[in-house]
Amino acid sequence: MFKIVTKRMLNPSVVLLEIEAPFIAKKAMAGQFIIFRIDEKGERVPLTIADYDREKGTITIIAQIVGVSTEQLASMEEGDALLDVAGPLGIPTHIDENAKKVCVIGGGVGCAIAYPQAKELFSKGIEVDVIAGFRSKDIIILEEEFKKQCNDLTICTDDGTYGKKGFVTDALKEKIESGSKYDAVIAIGPVPMMKFVCAVTKPYEIKTIVSLNPIMIDGTGMCGGCRVTVGGEIKYACVDGPDFDGHQVDFDELMKRNSTYREQEHDCRMLR
């Protein structure tokens, strides 16, 4: 059993949980994920490790409430326990050790994945710019946390209710054209956002890493559900990723596959 030691609602639809998982905390690295089950009848749900504390033996996960399992997760309280938490899974994010400046971009709840990336790079002395995008002010998450783990934070809102009005791609292009020399860009968020970030960076030949979120079941590469096409080859996000070269990803195929079970994922009677 994996006890919840801290629970915090980041906004009305996003919950943060710190969980006792000492063996996972001991090995976890930025970019990796876990798969949890609430109980023996629960589905397996993958979530990125948003943070970890090796001394306390805890990991932090952040979930958007979008279906039955995440509703159940958000209803749990401090002291409750998850039945299963498997991890760390996936390959950690790798940035060239000679990199001097990196831009980390998060879109919406994707900021939960962008945060550990920024924190890891910043701890290594790399100059980190963070661009975080949200639809509006009322759903912004992790602003104070990001401020402590980067050199410059730009928050964008689609409706202009906070920070810079517009999309993360606008802010990124502005930074590049104003002279920011990035050794790499890391983009995490909705698939269309990652696709357009890659379109911005490609003419400048800036290495761009994306963290993909295809349909995932077992997390060990056996089911094949998380397959994606990268550079014309089939890859599996759970074991080959979740990070990939964004300029090689077939985003259109990924978006089509991600929409396969859109109706069912929000109303699975088996879980009620």
Check whether 272 has a pLDDT greater than 50: no
With contact defined as beta carbons under 8 Å apart, do 210 and 246 qualify? yes
pTM: 0.89
Give the chain's radius of gyration (CA, Å).
18
DSSP 249: B
Q: Name 127's bridge partners.
A: 101
Question: What confidence score (pLDDT) does residue 216 get?
Answer: 83
**Which pLDDT belongs to residue 264?**
59
User: What pLDDT score does 225 carry?
Assistant: 83
pLDDT tens digits for 192-224? 999 999 999 999 999 999 999 888 888 888 888
Domains of the chain: 2-89 (2.40.30.10), 101-211 (3.40.50.80)
Percent of the chain with pLDDT over 90: 81
pLDDT of 260 > 80? The answer is: no
pLDDT for 269 equals: 44
- Over residues 92-133, the pLDDT tens digits come to 988 887 899 999 999 999 999 999 999 999 999 999 999 999
What residues have CB less than 8 Å from 235, skipping those under 6 apart? 227, 228, 229, 241, 244
CA distance 127 to 129: 7
- Opening angle at CA 120, ends 118 and 126, nearest 5: 75
In terms of DSSP H, where are the helices of 90-217?
111-123, 143-147, 168-177, 191-201
What's the mean per-residue pLDDT of the chain?
A: 91
**What pLDDT was estimated at residue 48?**
92
191-201 helix and 251-258 helix, angle to the nearest 10 degrees: 170
pLDDT at 271: 43
Say what the pLDDT of residue 136 is. 95
Q: What is the largest CA-CA distance in the chain?
A: 54
Is residue 266 scored above 80 in pLDDT? no
- Characterize the bridge pairing of strands 101-107 and 58-64: unpaired
pLDDT score, position 270: 43
State the distance between the two ends of the chain, measured CA to CA, in whole angstroms. Answer: 22
Average pLDDT over residues 166-180: 95
* pLDDT on residue 220: 80
User: pLDDT, tens digit, for every residue of 130-153?
Assistant: 999 999 999 999 999 999 999 999
Mean pLDDT over 232-240 rounds to: 93
Q: 227 is written with which tokens? A: 């397959």
pLDDT band with cut points at 50, 70 and 90 for residue 85: very high
